[in-house]
Amino acid sequence: MKRYELDGKVALITGAASGIGRATAISLARRGAVLALADINADGLAETTGLVEAEGGKASQHVCDLAIREQVDALPRAVFERHGTLDLLINNAGVTILGDFQTVTANDMEWVIGINLIATMRLTKAALPFLIKSRDAHIVNISSILGITAMPGQAAYSASKFGVRGFSQSLRYELRKHGIGVTVVHPGAINTNIIESARMVGNSPQSEAKTRRDTAKKGVNMPPEQAGEIIARAIEARKIRLLIGNDAKFLAVLERLFPISYWSIVGRISPE
């Protein structure tokens, strides 16, 4: 399959106010893409827009709460009306909650799955008519290594990211007839603000919350800028699946070799 040319393409990116979304936007701007940046954080969107423009790129800003279905459904049309086309959809926005499933509330579960999975599916559904019109479209869904493996304390997040993986695989086969490619991305530990913005279960005291966050951030060292560049290159190559980081690649292999016992192996080899 020929290389996907990003120059002149209009790319809608969710979660573009920071982290992987921002970094991917900048990498795409360097390649000549026009960005439609979506996030709930208006100030962060303005900062990302400034960084895109510093690279010589163009961007529109779309404040959107992915927890509100009407805003999700309306977003692709707003992008199409602004830019006249929609060629690339990157479902990047994600949230998590830190804590054991036993103490997670039903509202917290619905929040995580609603944004990570349902909003991804709704936005893709709303965007498809415009992507089909493009005749050279591509979709990128950001899952996680926790969409291939699972770990304690991340049941809702893992469920949502496994869902993104399954959705992407099914969608890829359905959209072949339209010439639309689908890339599913499984990042490992990337240094974004998802842990800092994570909800805590129940009424966790500050000391416990800090301990949970510090534990979750262990080994998180890859800068989002590096991940964004890797994603941009994967889009150009029309990759089907992308693992980002040595940790993600290691865990994916471990899960394939030991699909039942991989987490007990991780527990034995991980440093305290």
For 90-114, write each residue's pLDDT tens digit: 999 999 988 889 989 999 999 999 9
Which one has a higher pLDDT value, 159 or 260?
159
Q: What is the mean pLDDT of residues 165-189?
A: 97
**What pLDDT was estimated at residue 218?**
53
**What pLDDT was estimated at residue 201?**
61
Q: Give 21-66 pLDDT, tens digit per residue.
A: 999 999 999 999 999 999 999 999 999 999 999 999 999 999 999 9
Instruction: Report, as residue numbers or ranges, the catalytic residues.
Output: 157
**What pLDDT was estimated at residue 264?**
83
Which one has a higher pLDDT value, 233 or 214?
233
**What pLDDT was estimated at residue 54?**
96
CATH architecture of the domain covering 10-269: 3-Layer(aba) Sandwich (3.40)
Segments of the chain assigned E as strands: 10-14, 34-39, 58-63, 88-91, 97-98, 138-142, 181-187, 199-200, 241-244
Provide the mean pLDDT of the chain. 90
Quickly tell me which residue has 């530990």 as its tokens: 189
Domain positions in the chain are 10-269
Q: What is the mean pLDDT of residues 247-268?
A: 88
Q: Give 121-148 pLDDT, tens digit per residue.
A: 999 999 999 999 998 999 999 999 999 9
* Residue 215: pLDDT over 60: no
Tell me the C-alpha to C-alpha distance, in Å, between residue 65 and each of 34, 69, 106, 114, 205.
22, 8, 20, 11, 28
* Residue 217: pLDDT over 90: no
DSSP string for 43-89: HHHHHHHHHHHHTT-EEEEEE--TTSHHHHHHHHHHHHHHHS---EE
